[in-house]
């Protein structure tokens, strides 16, 4: 896996809670977009206080590794809002928030700041008979939602619901003749997320779902019941929906609590993923049920 080096070339605030950062650089022309609208990359951030000092990992099989003796670059996942290979540029829209690495880095980003990134991967995968889609997300899913809307065929009826902290976080979205977008306020670390309730309301039991695709992205724990609703209550085939946890509240303390679990409990959780016959969505539901049971 190639790790590219890119440099901030422009910074443009979009709203109070989001900033668009354009990256360019010698490596960017080699960056190949998958063309999948929610494609995402791993970003490798500076490891210390010096924003200009990067310790990039090197490619190792299908992953990467930090050369021995070098500091490890913190890595986070972000959507490619736009890729312009002809201009050797990509745009990434960052949610501004106070904790962690990426949010504070983005808030202070200036032209010339370097970052590392890998090749993109996408998950949004509507079926060939797509006639209707439901797109539900919070702020973190907004860049992917915008790109999906940009590229949705004109005839596809689209219902989108976006949860943002307040009206100052609403953004203009690409126009689509058959799309209706509803903005709702809350979640995003500013209050309890209503994503689960919003999906259940948009796609209730017994809804007619022929030709429909459902894409949901946002706060991970809020989406546990969404996956269950789509897969178990509505019995949707896995190719008819995609539920992607984009971020988790209380990250550090969550990881610490996970690490503190007894070894046999962690082994049981890990073993869930070993079933070669298991459907990935069903295994994920079982895994998430166990996490909830453990208070995680
Ligand atoms: C496929 C995919 C695509 C994504 N695309 C984007 C994107 O285009 N733009 C984007 O901004 N994010 C995107 N995310 C989400 C992003 O990866 C997470 O928000 C990530 O945690 C940010 O890293 P951090 O270093 O800022 O915070 P972390 O160090 O990971 O987390 C520290 C703490 O910050 C808080 N936190 C983290 N993220 C948020 C948030 N969004 N809102 C409020 N509080 C938060 C939590 O309390 C967390 O415990 C995407 C995630 C995935 C999986």
pLDDT along the chain (296 residues), means of 10: 92 97 87 93 96 93 91 97 92 96 97 95 96 97 98 97 97 97 96 94 89 96 94 94 94 85 94 85 93 91
What was the pLDDT predicted at 252?
Answer: 75
Q: And the tokens for 146? A: 């915008």
Q: What is the pLDDT of residue 89?
A: 94
pLDDT at 48: 94
Nearest to 246 by CA among 7, 79, 14, 17: 79
Does CATH number 3.40.50.80 belong to domain 123-249?
yes
pLDDT at 268: 93
C-beta of 249 in contact with ligand 1 (< 6 A): yes
Distance 202 CA to ligand 1 centre (A): 25
Instruction: Choose among 95, 103, 148: nearest CA to 122.
Output: 148
Residue 79, ligand 1, Cβ within 6 A: yes
pLDDT at 277: 78
CATH number, span 3-118: 2.40.30.10
- pLDDT given for residue 254 in this prediction: 84
Query: Residue 93, class by beta-carbon neighbours within 10 Å (0-12 exposed, 13-18 middle, 19+ buried)?
Result: buried
25 lines ligand 1 (CB under 6 A): no
Alpha carbons 93 and 21: distance in angstroms, whole number: 6
User: Where in the chain are the domains?
Assistant: 3-118, 123-249, 251-296
User: If you take atom 17 of ligand 1, which residue's CA is the nearest one?
Assistant: 77
E strand map for 81-177 = 82-84, 89-95, 114-118, 132-138, 157-164
């Amino acid at each position: 896996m190639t790790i590219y080096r890119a440099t901030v070339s422009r910074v443009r605030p979009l709203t109070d809670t989001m900033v668009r950062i354009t990256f360019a650089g010698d490596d960017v022309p080699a960056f190949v977009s998958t063309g999948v609208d929610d494609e995402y990359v791993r970003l490798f951030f500076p490891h210390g206080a010096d924003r200009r000092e990067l310790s990039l990992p090197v490619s190792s099989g299908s992953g990467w590794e930090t050369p021995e003796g070098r500091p490890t670059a913190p890595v986070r996942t972000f959507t490619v809002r736009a890729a312009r290979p002809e201009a050797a540029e990509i745009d990434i829209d960052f949610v501004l928030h106070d904790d962690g690495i990426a949010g504070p880095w983005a808030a202070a980003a200036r032209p010339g700041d370097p970052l590392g990134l890998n090749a993109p991967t996408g998950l949004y995968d509507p079926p060939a008979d797509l006639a209707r889609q439901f797109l539900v997300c919070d702020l973190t899913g907004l860049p992917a939602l915008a790109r999906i809307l940009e590229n949705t065929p004109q005839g596809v009826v689209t219902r989108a619901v976006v949860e943002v902290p307040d009206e100052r976080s609403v953004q203009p979205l690409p126009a689509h003749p058959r799309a209706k977008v509803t903005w709702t306020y809350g979640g995003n670390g500013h209050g309890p997320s209503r994503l689960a309730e919003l999906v259940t309301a948009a796609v209730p039991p017994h809804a007619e779902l022929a030709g429909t695709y459902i894409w949901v992205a946002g706060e991970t724990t809020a989406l546990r019941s969404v996956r269950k609703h789509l897969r178990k209550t509505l019995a949707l085939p896995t190719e008819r929906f995609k539920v992607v946890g984009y971020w988790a509240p209380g990250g550090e303390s969550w990881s610490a609590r996970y690490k503190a679990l007894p070894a046999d409990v962690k082994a049981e959780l890990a073993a869930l993923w070993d079933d070669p016959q298991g459907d990935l969505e069903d295994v994920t539901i079982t895994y998430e049920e166990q996490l909830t049971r453990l208070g995680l």
